[in-house]
A and B are shown apart, each in its own frame.
Chain A
């Protein structure tokens, strides 16, 4: 079984609340859930929707067709009724949208009236809607009561009781009124699932990597990471600071890093553009820092709340001059946690900027897991800290390379070691120089020797599907789930496989896994990207000389949906 629910309405109507409560409910019932959000850049009005897919198999993408459409306004019906599955139902409140529809696909549930009559306040109409959806699905209501308890703990028992009554009334109304509802979700006897989105996962990755300092400036869709870390600031003792601008963010994070704590910042393309000089400085001063770039369609302000993979090459090259960096692009929340942990580890180990690149789609999309493996999460303190009787005052040189290109990184102020960092080219002590000989030695240390070490740390792309495929669909970052689902479905028709790159730079070597052999032996190779110019395909060609036989590029600001992507792959293969 595999059902899709779309909740649509204006910004401010609470569709996100309905969606997130249902997502938690289904995941707690033991179903697999996948959700994504489509919203406009406004606080009130417009048209937004929340799409939620749940089933008894793993789900990692969104579909085009919905089984249940919860319409909180008239526009939702107009915009989404053609996307209704056969036997799908549109549930709406005729009084609320001031229009009545006839036909078997329509179910009128008076959300407002139920809320007012049962709970005494129209504010509870969203609870009535959640109850009604459960009623349409003939699912148990007990877990909803539990979630209402958790959500409204602070509002007091009166509000909790009223909401539970309203939920039950909505539920009963739908059970009685929807004789045509033919949904039969199999009851899950498993334990509940973990429900998490990739922004939370990156924040969680930061918290579990010992991040002690996060600063940033609000920008959609990057703010969600900061929100999560801020929500853990007290409990895990993390300083979180909203800066005056992104230039301040990167520089403040570098200050904290210099002073001995793990630091992180993040933004979207426009804000990150302001950080470019600071990124270059991190490269020169060899200061560890982790930076999240949550992409949205550009250039400039672009489409602020929508999705695109248009900044890969920008992140790869941001900052003047030559210096090493790592760039990761998680394809799901589990990768989000692991790659954030790896970003912190490599940033500290090699004293470099490390990037995590997401986009609006993957940042907001929720996934479910039985659990996420944490065995390989690491925390190694690479800093040179104070020891008892530490009297090495004159011996320490910040950029000494006698033991290799990675110089010991001392923490200032807690020992007698003097730590000198400089944005100018410098000598081993950190003082500015201008002679050619020192410059050459420093570039060899800082850039060339480090880069070859870092390259060994990069894992190969993920390979899924047929072992000797005729068709290989390749993607990076946020398209992991959709490509995997498409390849799984098309596996019945073709000898097909997926290559997914989440550790993008330094570009993976072929020694660990020869992905170039797979590509060159396939008949059709397709690079799927949510951008106009095929930035990953360009990178692949530059790094390996390999050119994909086909490309699928979207640049409408919307995510790929399963049926659409399958259709486009079919067109390329035929």
Chain B
């Protein structure tokens, strides 16, 4: 067991009261609980308020481009499948700019844990609608309201037969930490959509709003039932379930690549002499 202080990074520059603080705390707790050391993990992020998270921790960090966290995370895992890779993203970064990568990361089932700070609004760029913003909300750049219907990341992921789909709530940090631990431990692609109030720009989905609706799934729920999970994901209800919603244990992408069976790519040697034999094949 590591101490939380082992993961102490730079001082966060988020707004006071931001849900990101709790998510950061939960992640540190999950890593400490799993005994994953700061140098033994890489956290990948794109751009957004959530994407700053790895700087506020101690870890190997790949803070790349907006929307593009999943492709490098895939590259990193393929190069070194012994190192856990966690992606920290937001609803704009992952469901908007990087939507195509999400679909294909799920299809590959690369063993990467994706944590989406879903505050249903753009924070970094100051309050525009995101793919999960409630339909009709008027913002500075949506003068007629956010007229596209909200993206449902949970049903999308179950629809793609994602191997691990969960939802957490930033304010329920204890439960979130346990979900994160399961997600990191899961072999294959794991999506954790994390409901997170934005105290500055989202005046609709507040702590109060969430707290009235969010509940924990209990042991009677079976996450291995795809149809049941889908039903739960699309059901119109005032209540929002949190917990592990869907699991499908199947081989991870890395496991399907024969040359990665034994030694990770980064530890495999190279012999120029051996490679030069390829020239003879052109005669």
Binding site for B on A (CB under 8 A): 28, 192-196, 200, 204, 207-208, 210, 212-213, 215, 232-234, 236-239, 241, 243-245, 247-249, 251-261, 263, 277-278, 281, 285, 371-372, 374, 377, 379, 393, 411-424, 430-432
Q: Please, how many angstroms separate the alpha-carbon atoms of A484 and B78 in the complex?
A: 44
In B94-116, which residues have CB < 8 Å from any A CB? 100-101, 103-104
20 further A-B contacts with Cβ under 8 Å, apart from A258-B76, A418-B39, are A194-B279, A204-B279, A234-B259, A236-B278, A239-B79, A241-B78, A243-B71, A247-B71, A258-B62, A258-B79, A259-B75, A261-B79, A263-B75, A281-B64, A417-B39, A418-B38, A420-B60, A421-B61, A432-B52, A432-B55
Q: Please, how many angstroms separate the alpha-carbon atoms of A141 and B62 in the complex?
A: 60
Q: Please, how many angstroms separate the alpha-carbon atoms of A200 and B282 in the complex?
A: 10
Chain A: CB-nearest residue to B46: A423
Contact among B52, B55, B65, B272 for A251, CB-based, below 8 A: B65
A237 touches B265 (CB 8 A): yes
Residues of A within 8 A of B274 (CB): 236
B42 touches A259 (CB 8 A): yes
Residues of A within 8 A of B40 (CB): 413
Chain A: CB-nearest residue to B257: A239
Q: Please, how many angstroms separate the alpha-carbon atoms of A213 and B78 in the complex?
A: 9
B44: Cβ under 8 A from any A Cβ = yes
B272 touches A212 (CB 8 A): no
B68: Cβ under 8 A from any A Cβ = yes
B236: Cβ under 8 A from any A Cβ = no
Chain A: CB-nearest residue to B39: A416
B237: Cβ under 8 A from any A Cβ = no
Residues of A within 8 A of B265 (CB): 212-213, 237, 239, 256, 261
A414 touches B267 (CB 8 A): yes
A413 touches B75 (CB 8 A): no
Contact A195 B282, CB 8 Å, known A213-B79, A259-B266, A260-B266 = yes
A260 touches B104 (CB 8 A): no
Q: Please, how many angstroms separate the alpha-carbon atoms of A234 and B257 in the complex?
A: 10
Contact A237 B259, CB 8 Å, known A252-B72, A261-B265, A414-B266 = yes
Q: Please, how many angstroms separate the alpha-carbon atoms of A210 and B63 in the complex?
A: 26
Closest chain-A Cβ to B34's Cβ sits at a distance in Å of 15
B79 touches A259 (CB 8 A): yes
B170: Cβ under 8 A from any A Cβ = no
Contact among B65, B78, B104 for A278, CB-based, below 8 A: B65
Residues of B within 8 A of A419 (CB): 42, 60-61
Q: Please, how many angstroms separate the alpha-carbon atoms of A419 and B63 in the complex?
A: 11
Residues of A within 8 A of B270 (CB): 210, 212, 379
A194 touches B283 (CB 8 A): yes
Chain B: CB-nearest residue to A192: B283
Chain B: CB-nearest residue to A379: B272
B225: Cβ under 8 A from any A Cβ = no
A239 touches B71 (CB 8 A): no
- B50-63 vs A, CB cutoff 8 Å, 1 = contact: the mask equals 00101100111111
Contact A431 B101, CB 8 Å, known A278-B65, A413-B60 = no
Contact A232 B42, CB 8 Å, known A251-B65, A254-B72, A422-B63 = no
Number of interface residues of B (CB under 8 A): 53
B100 touches A232 (CB 8 A): no
B10: Cβ under 8 A from any A Cβ = yes
A414 touches B80 (CB 8 A): yes
B1: Cβ under 8 A from any A Cβ = no
Contact among B47, B78, B268 for A256, CB-based, below 8 A: B78
Chain A: CB-nearest residue to B40: A413
B275 touches A244 (CB 8 A): no
Q: Please, how many angstroms separate the alpha-carbon atoms of A248 and B258 in the complex?
A: 23
Closest chain-B Cβ to A27's Cβ sits at a distance in Å of 8
B20: Cβ under 8 A from any A Cβ = no
B283 touches A28 (CB 8 A): yes
Residues of A within 8 A of B44 (CB): 255
B79 touches A212 (CB 8 A): yes
Closest chain-A Cβ to B60's Cβ sits at a distance in Å of 4
A251 touches B75 (CB 8 A): yes
- B20-38 vs A, CB cutoff 8 Å, 1 = contact: the mask equals 0000000000000000001
Q: Please, how many angstroms separate the alpha-carbon atoms of A413 and B61 in the complex?
A: 11
Chain B: CB-nearest residue to A374: B276
Closest chain-B Cβ to A419's Cβ sits at a distance in Å of 5
Closest chain-A Cβ to B274's Cβ sits at a distance in Å of 8
Residues of A within 8 A of B103 (CB): 244
B101 touches A248 (CB 8 A): yes
B82: Cβ under 8 A from any A Cβ = yes
- B178-213 vs A, CB cutoff 8 Å, 1 = contact: the mask equals 000000000000000000000000000000000000
B282 touches A278 (CB 8 A): no
- B241-265 vs A, CB cutoff 8 Å, 1 = contact: the mask equals 0000000000000000111100001
B73: Cβ under 8 A from any A Cβ = yes
> What are 28 pairs between A and B in contact, CB < 8 Å?
A194-B282, A200-B282, A208-B279, A212-B268, A213-B78, A215-B75, A234-B259, A244-B101, A245-B100, A247-B68, A247-B71, A248-B100, A248-B101, A251-B71, A252-B74, A254-B64, A255-B74, A258-B79, A259-B42, A259-B83, A260-B266, A278-B65, A413-B42, A413-B80, A413-B82, A421-B63, A430-B61, A432-B52
Residues of B within 8 A of A236 (CB): 274-275, 278
Q: Please, how many angstroms separate the alpha-carbon atoms of A87 and B5 in the complex?
A: 87
B39 touches A208 (CB 8 A): no
A252 touches B82 (CB 8 A): no
Chain B: CB-nearest residue to A243: B71
Chain B: CB-nearest residue to A197: B282
In B76-92, which residues have CB < 8 Å from any A CB? 76, 78-80, 82-83
Residues of B within 8 A of A259 (CB): 42, 75-76, 79-80, 83, 266
Residues of B within 8 A of A241 (CB): 74, 78
Residues of B within 8 A of A379 (CB): 270, 272
- B220-234 vs A, CB cutoff 8 Å, 1 = contact: the mask equals 000000000000000
Q: Please, how many angstroms separate the alpha-carbon atoms of A208 and B272 in the complex?
A: 6
Residues of A within 8 A of B71 (CB): 243, 247-249, 251-252, 255
Residues of A within 8 A of B52 (CB): 432
Query: Quick one: which of A261, A263, A415, A419 has the most chain B CB within 10 A?
Result: A261
Chain B: CB-nearest residue to A419: B60
B65 touches A423 (CB 8 A): yes
Residues of A within 8 A of B82 (CB): 413
Q: Sorted from nearest, which 6 A-B pairs have the closest CB atoms? A: A255-B75, A255-B72, A259-B79, A413-B83, A251-B71, A256-B75
B63 touches A424 (CB 8 A): yes
Query: Quick one: which of A244, A257, A424 has the most chain B CB within 10 A?
Result: A244
Closest chain-A Cβ to B81's Cβ sits at a distance in Å of 10
Closest chain-A Cβ to B71's Cβ sits at a distance in Å of 4
Q: Please, how many angstroms separate the alpha-carbon atoms of A228 and B79 in the complex?
A: 20
B58 touches A193 (CB 8 A): no
Residues of B within 8 A of A212 (CB): 79, 265, 268, 270
A256 touches B283 (CB 8 A): no
Closest chain-B Cβ to A102's Cβ sits at a distance in Å of 43
Q: Please, how many angstroms separate the alpha-carbon atoms of A247 and B282 in the complex?
A: 33
Residues of A within 8 A of B278 (CB): 204, 207-208, 232, 236
Q: Please, how many angstroms separate the alpha-carbon atoms of A254 and B40 in the complex?
A: 19
Residues of A within 8 A of B275 (CB): 207-208, 210, 236
Q: Please, how many angstroms separate the alpha-carbon atoms of A419 and B72 in the complex?
A: 15
Contact among B58, B80, B276 for A260, CB-based, below 8 A: B80
Q: Please, how many angstroms separate the alpha-carbon atoms of A249 and B74 in the complex?
A: 11
Closest chain-A Cβ to B86's Cβ sits at a distance in Å of 12
Chain A: CB-nearest residue to B37: A416
Contact A251 B68, CB 8 Å, known A239-B259, A259-B80, A393-B39 = yes
